[in-house]
Amino acid sequence: MAIVAGIDVGTQSTKVLCYDTEARKILATSQSPHELISREDGSREQEASWWIGAMISCFASIDPIIRRSIEAVGVSGQQHGFVPVDASGEVLHAVKLWNDVSTAAECAQISSCAGGDAQLLAGEGNLILPGYTASKILWFKKYHPDKYGKMAHILLPHDYINFWLTGNAVMEYGDASGTALLDIKSRTWSRRLLRCIDAKRDLSEVLPRLIEAHQVAGNLTAKAATLLGLVEGIPVSSGGGDNMMGAIGTGTVTDGTLTMSLGTSGTIYGASDTPVIDPQGLLAAFCSSTGAWLPLLCTMNCTVASEVTRKLFDQGVTQFDAIANEAPIGCEGVVMLPYFTGERTPNYPRGKACLMGFDLHNMKVRNINRAALESAIFGLRLGLDAFKDLGYRAKEIRLIGGGAKSSVWRQMVADICNLPVVVPAVPEAAAFGAALQAFWALEHAGGKDTGISGIVADHVVLEQEASCVPIPANVTRYAKAYENYMLYVSAVKPIFG
């Protein structure tokens, strides 16, 4: 048994969690916020140096005795971000993030070169969407050719943190699948897609070496150890994207479990022992960070909708929920399409948020509040329907993210999805998952053939007091409201699609 640390480099902040695997106890947590660069063209960027500064700040706030006791580190990172690095290890450009939708034209160019959506799904398994890394690389080549020529490494956010910690440029299969450049069935880089980005340069030479989920990315360098107050040489696990680490942190590592994350983005994902490719293209065909697969639906606007609505009416969180709870299911016909930052599912990169369905009687604050909440879950219901269409039999939903703290939202998820909802006892699922993966890697490095499912069974605890079950009458009402919502989603396709 050991003390391990999980680092989660998210969109809004970096978090660090220290966990004692013997006492099964969290010893310390810390958090440091990030800024965000937003532009009218849909650009969403951050400086990689901000993540390093935030990570150093997080560790500095943790007791030095705990820091010196840490035996392994795991890293979770926001998915899909593009970190171009030169041969000396310097980052060449601000990082284009997962919610950057400015590369829609590059997506279309790569998709056309690859033969269209049907060919992509039949081949590599994923569409080329603006959120993914592939189009960001082409954008960089087009608009910053000098910097592109100096690019020695293509890294994702968690890979860059691993690179800073260890000096090694490696990537595991979960985050690799989120680039849209990996053939998820053969688990190899797609050379034809790489040629679509650059027919002259062999981009496989600047992509990281792929490693298995239980392997270490490397060992902590003396410089990183000094800056973080950790012991030099401790192992750093392969890490993974925040959703992949969230799956470990919630126990979603075996068939039949689903996790729904209500954060800045909304995600719903499930563990699978075999590749899952959705012919509709709604579910992303990702690999997991456990050696298996993690089919996933992501929406770009989840708590975004409730936060901007809450601020519009100058309401606190508790007040917002209470007012929303006064409105009936379906909001008397009021519908919000929460495409504040464009949208990935459905693929509306030019999307704008809309409030629809008003008449002389239903234009009320309570209806608008509730519509903001309902819209986020209706968007994720698309993913649940896709899972069901593919024969995935879900038993329950494990709910995480800021939205999981709301009792109104928890019951709404249970009723809209018609599934029991449970909440993991550790709310920071991505950081916790990174810590558990670090423990898994440490066990393997010590010659033990420990399985991740056993680790999860031993350490992931569910908070039963926060659980919800569907209320049959509500399920029926929500089914009608969801049908009405989908009519509006279809109606705006000619404008936003």
Q: Which residues are catalytic?
A: 242
Q: Is 444 helix (H, G, I), strand (E, B) or coil?
A: helix
- Which residues touch 98 (CB under 8 Å, ≥6 apart)? 11, 78, 79, 80, 81, 131, 265
Kindly state the DSSP code that residue 161 receives in the 8-state scheme. H
| CA distances for 29 relative to 44, 151, 428, 458, angstroms | 27, 35, 9, 21
Contact 288, 213 (CB under 8 A): yes
Closest Cα partner for 331 from 117, 443, 488, 492?
488
Instruction: List 151's β-bridge partners, or say none.
Output: 86
Kindly state the DSSP code that residue 451 receives in the 8-state scheme. -
| CA distances for 496 relative to 72, 213, 349, 461, angstroms | 46, 38, 7, 42
Instruction: Spell out the long-range contacts of 114-122 with Cβ–Cβ below 8 A and sequence spacing 24 or more.
Output: 114/192, 114/193, 114/196, 117/281, 121/277, 121/278, 121/279, 121/281
Phi, psi dihedrals of residue 124, rounded to the nearest 5°: -75, -30
Calpha distance 248→271 (Å, rounded)? 10
Contact 474, 481 (CB under 8 A): no
- Which residues touch 5 (CB under 8 Å, ≥6 apart)? 16, 17, 18, 19, 70, 72, 73, 74, 230, 435, 438
List the Cα angle 149/153/157 in 5-degree steps.
Answer: 125
Q: How many CB atoms lie within 10 A of CB 26?
A: 17
Q: Is 175 exposed, middle or buried (0-12, 13-18, 19+ CB in 10 A)?
A: buried
Kindly state the DSSP code that residue 328 receives in the 8-state scheme. P
Closest Cα partner for 300 from 326, 266, 331, 268?
266
Closest Cα partner for 250 from 16, 423, 468?
423
